[in-house]
């Protein structure tokens, strides 16, 4: 039987997986020193300022943290003078600090899972974190020169981060967040998106690929079907978070072999108050029957293992294993599970 990592590689490359890949089973999320130098709120905390000066809150009654954009807390007060407000945090860390993180990477069994540093927010998200969403969308249309300059500044910072990660931690994958749309549409029309983000991401993802990273997982839990040609050109190997609204089965048929798709199971399909195992089984069968096991990984669309409502993610994992037994004849108790793969 293939290891989780081998099976994921076979699915992504269109080879011969011996079962359905089970969500995030073959991605070991890891971190890097900057994460410890930029505070983020835990559940119940509010108005925590990170290293970029962005204020974030995580109220107890919501599923995740978000930027606070009251007028007094927006970082960029004047887009024409954004340089006065945006100051990139330092990425100069001691050898001892890098070594502490490297020890965690070395402790992971690389035959079982990809060692993937978690990187967020991405370029688009960072732009609206700094400016506010409404302001940022207006600026892309009305102040394109300033936004190009801001994105170049953010890109240079990400490239420096990539250099540190690759030189010190040697991951074989990265997991990069940047939400590019809502459930029904992209935030920018495709041509405008490409104008601002195609070349910057080609630089960032090209750097990772050129320095030992096998797979780029890009998370965007949204509608982004119209951006896939750009994703491929950027060097994205797996689009994680592809919502059902994208018609994922058609995307697999059209683009399989150029990019793989990880998602197809919206939270709303099995992660809601009163969810049941039957909901998880139904969502699993629908996605797997429609998309198959090649170029597709059945997965919740949120950007990491877990669920909003306790137990839903674990139940979905169980149903995927059950369906693998039904389709491939692989018994669930034969599948080797590492401790970190069953935490959720």
* Mean pLDDT, all residues of the chain: 96
Instruction: Compute the average pLDDT of residues 195-201.
Output: 98
Cα diameter, the chain:
62
* CA–CA dist 64, 246 (Å, integer): 24
What's the confidence (pLDDT) of residue 334? Answer: 74
Q: What is the pLDDT of residue 70?
A: 97
Q: Count the residues in the chain.
A: 344
Q: What digits encode the pLDDT tens for the residues 293-317? A: 999 999 999 999 999 999 999 999 9
In three-state form (DSSP H/G/I as H, E/B as E, the rest C), the secondary structure along 179-243 is: CCECCCCECCCHHHHHHHHHHHHHHHHHHHHHCCCCEEEEEEEECCHHHHHHHHHHCCCEEEEEC
Give one word for 130, left, alpha or beta, with left for phi > 0 and alpha for psi -120 to 50: alpha
Q: Is the pLDDT of residue 335 over 80?
A: no
What's the pLDDT score for residue 343? 44
Alpha helices for the chain (secondary structure H): 4-13, 95-107, 123-131, 133-142, 144-168, 190-210, 228-234, 248-255, 267-270, 277-291, 312-328
Query: Using CA atoms, how far apart are residues 267 and 75, in angstroms rounded to an integer?
Result: 32
What is the pLDDT at residue 293?
98
Integer Cα distance of 197 and 123 in angstroms: 8
Report whether pLDDT(115) > 70: yes
Q: How confident is the model at residue 338 (pLDDT cuts 50, 70, 90)?
A: low
State the pLDDT confidence band at 341, using cuts at 50, 70 and 90. Answer: low
pLDDT, one tens digit per residue, over 56-87 is 999 998 989 999 999 999 999 999 999 999 99
What percentage of the chain carries pLDDT values higher than 70? 97
Q: 193: which 2 tokens? A: 């998106």
Helix/strand/coil for 117: strand
230: which residues sit within 8 A by CB, 6+ positions away?
Answer: 190, 193, 194, 197, 198
Q: Is the pLDDT of residue 344 over 50?
A: no
Helix, strand or coil for residue 98?
Answer: helix
DSSP string for residues in 50-81: -TTS-EEE--TTSSS-EE---TTT-S-S-GGG
Determine which helix (DSSP H) or strand (DSSP E) holds 299, and give its type and residue range: strand 296-300
Residue 9 clears pLDDT 60, i.e. is over it = yes
State both tokens at 12: 């992504």
| pLDDT value for 339 | 58
Residue 186 has pLDDT above 50, yes or no: yes
| Cα separations in angstroms, 118 against 16, 197, 267, 335 | 28, 20, 21, 26
Q: What is the pLDDT of residues 89-107, one digit of tens each?
A: 999 999 999 999 999 999 9
d(CA 264, CA 21) in angstroms, rounded, equals 13
Range of the domain at 160: 4-342
Strand 66-67 to 55-57 pairing: antiparallel
| Segment 25-51, tens digit of pLDDT | 999 999 999 999 999 999 999 999 999
pLDDT at position 72, please?
97
User: In terms of pLDDT, which residue wins out, 101 or 331?
Assistant: 101
Average pLDDT, stretch 166-178? 98
pTM higher than 0.85 for the full model?
yes
- The tally of domains found in the chain comes to 1
Res. 128: pLDDT tops 90: yes
Give the CATH number of the domain where residue 280 resides.
3.20.20.210
What is the predicted pLDDT for the residue at 331?
A: 81
């Amino acid at each position: 039987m293939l290891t989780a990592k081998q099976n994921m590689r076979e699915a992504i490359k269109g080879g011969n997986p011996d079962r359905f890949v089970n969500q995030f089973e073959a991605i070991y999320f890891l971190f890097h020193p900057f994460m410890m130098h930029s505070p983020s709120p835990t559940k119940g905390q509010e108005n925590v300022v990170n290293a970029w000066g962005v204020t974030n809150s995580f109220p107890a009654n919501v599923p995740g943290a978000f930027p606070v954009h009251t007028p007094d807390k927006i970082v960029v007060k004047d887009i024409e003078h954004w340089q006065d407000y945006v100051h990139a945090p330092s990425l100069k860390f001691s050898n001892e600090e890098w070594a502490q993180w490297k020890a965690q990477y070395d402790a992971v069994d690389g035959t079982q899972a990809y060692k993937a540093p978690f990187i967020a927010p991405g370029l688009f998200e960072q732009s609206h974190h700094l400016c506010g969403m409404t302001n940022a969308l207006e600026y892309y249309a009305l102040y394109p020169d300033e936004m190009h300059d801001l994105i170049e500044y953010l890109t240079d910072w990400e490239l420096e981060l990539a250099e540190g990660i690759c030189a010190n931690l040697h991951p074989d994958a990265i997991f990069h967040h940047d939400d590019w749309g809502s459930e029904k549409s992209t935030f920018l029309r495709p041509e405008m998106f490409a104008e601002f983000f195609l070349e910057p991401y080609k630089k960032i993802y090209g750097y990772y690929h050129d320095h030992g990273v096998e797979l780029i997982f890009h998370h965007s839990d949204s509608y982004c079907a119209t951006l896939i040609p750009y994703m491929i050109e950027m060097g994205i190997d797996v689009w994680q978070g592809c919502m059902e609204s994208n018609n994922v089965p058609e995307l697999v048929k059209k683009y399989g072999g150029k990019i793989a798709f990880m998602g197809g199971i919206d939270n709303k399909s099995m992660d809601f108050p009163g969810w049941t195992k039957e909901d998880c089984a139904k969502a699993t069968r629908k996605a797997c029957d429609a998309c198959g096991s090649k170029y597709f990984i059945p997965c919740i669309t949120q950007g990491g293992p877990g669920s909003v409502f306790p137990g839903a993610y674990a139940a979905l994992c169980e149903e995927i294993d059950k369906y693998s037994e039904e389709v491939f004849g692989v018994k669930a108790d034969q599948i080797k599970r590492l401790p970190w793969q069953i935490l959720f």
